[in-house]
Amino acid sequence: MKINITIPVLNEETKLSVAVHRLSQWVADQRGPFEWELVIADNGSTDRTAAMGRELAGSLPIVRYVRFEERGRGAALSRVWLASDANVLSYMDVDLSSDLLDFPALLEPVVSGRADIAIGSRLTSGAQTTRCLSREIISRVYNQLLRLVFQTRIQDSQCGFKVLSAAAGQALLPQVKDRGWFWDSELLLNAERQGWRVFEHPIRWVENPDSRVAVCRTAWLNVCGIYRLRRRFARSKMPSLSRTLKTVGNNASVGVTPGNRNE
Ligand SMILES: Nc1nc2c(ncn2[C@@H]2O[C@H](COP(=O)(O)OP(=O)(O)O)[C@@H](O)[C@H]2O)c(=O)[nH]1
Ligand SMILES: [Mg+2]
């Protein structure tokens, strides 16, 4: 069983080394019959990120550095995951805003086959989220909008802490058209609609105020993404969510009965 951890990076020379060293130590501390790969996915950095990434890959055996010309965080994640031979795919932000103590709770359901996708959530009960008021409001409004438009039961689609089975990745990633920040939402909404089992788990999250997100532009692109996806779903012949959704596990989980995966 091979587990991929991808760290998407854009101009992260101040955070990259700390994150990669912490993560490789975390991996070294794990027990179990797992093989690990830690991939730094860079597309567009103009600072010392590339040099540092190569250096880290040279000194730590499980680390690889990859760079592409195509821009966008979603594009970087899709490319790395589609090329990976790992059985389990995961990613987290380089600032390690998500607490690594919660990582096993996301890995376990996917590794054991109980879920196809496990996502960290800052908005389900039990989550401990420290972030500024404006980001908190934007996140809540955005996720509420997704619930209204798509009747999704996912509460936090944009959290930078996700785990997927390779099967789910291979089936879903080619369908995701967005290459930027709406990528997460598009992936999850497709997954939910097509019957992949999504498990949402409350996590501890401490925001790092140094952000690559241009809030207004991202909000607008997300609205465009919602409009595009709504139209695509309306044209497709998938059964409505109300007929396929089933809650499994505890209150913080969302499960979908396996259904038609061939939209
Ligand atoms: N590969 C890649 N990574 C990106 C890009 N934009 C942001 N990231 C990474 O995505 C992660 C989350 O970004 P961050 O600015 O912390 O987002 P925030 O926490 O929502 O404010 C970080 O690891 C960033 O370096 C991009 O265009 N390409
Ligand atoms: Mg961040």
Nearest Cα to Cα of residue 93 among 122, 68, 126, 117: 122
Atom of ligand 1 nearest to the CA of 71: 27
d(CA 19, CA 169) in angstroms, rounded, equals 24
Note the pLDDT of residue 219: 95
Q: Is the pLDDT of residue 263 over 80?
A: no
Give me the DSSP letters along 87-142.
SEEEEE-TT--B-GGGHHHHHHHHHTTS-SEEEEESSSTT-EEE--HHHHHHHHHH
Q: Is the pLDDT of residue 261 over 80?
A: no
Return the residue whose CA atom lies nearest to atom 28 of ligand 1: 73
In whole angstroms, what is the distance from residue 218 CA to residue 205 CA? 21
Q: How far does residue 90's CA lie from ligand 2's centre (Å)?
A: 16
pLDDT in tens, 235-258: 987 665 544 333 334 433 333 333
Rounded CA-CA distance 153/189 in Å is 10
Q: What residues does ligand 1 touch, defined as CB less than 6 Å away?
A: 8-10, 12, 41-44, 71-73, 76, 93-95, 97, 160, 211-213
- Substitution site in 23, 70, 138, 212 for ligand 1 pocket (most atoms within 8 Å of beta carbon): 212
pLDDT of 256 reads 31
Over range 40-68, report the average pLDDT. Answer: 98
Ligand lying nearest the CA atom of residue 13:
1
User: Pick from 126, 62, 118: which is nearest to 92 by CA?
Assistant: 118
pLDDT of residue 97: 98
Nearest residue CA, atom 21 of ligand 1?
211
Average pLDDT over residues 8-21: 98
Q: What is the pTM of this model?
A: 0.92
pLDDT grade for 32, boundaries at 50, 70 and 90: confident
Nearest atom in ligand 1 to 94's CA: 23
| Domains of the chain (ranges, CATH numbers) | 1-94 (3.90.550.10), 97-163+172-263 (no CATH)
Instruction: Please report the atom of ligand 1 found closest to the CA of residue 211.
Output: 15
Q: Could you read off the pLDDT of 187-220 as tens digits, one per residue?
A: 999 999 999 999 999 999 999 999 999 999 999 9
Query: Residue 8 burial (CB < 10 Å; 0-12/13-18/19+)?
Result: buried
Which residue CA neighbors atom 14 of ligand 1 most closely?
A: 211
pLDDT in tens, 90-125: 999 999 999 999 999 999 999 999 999 999 999 999
Strands 117-121 and 88-92: unpaired
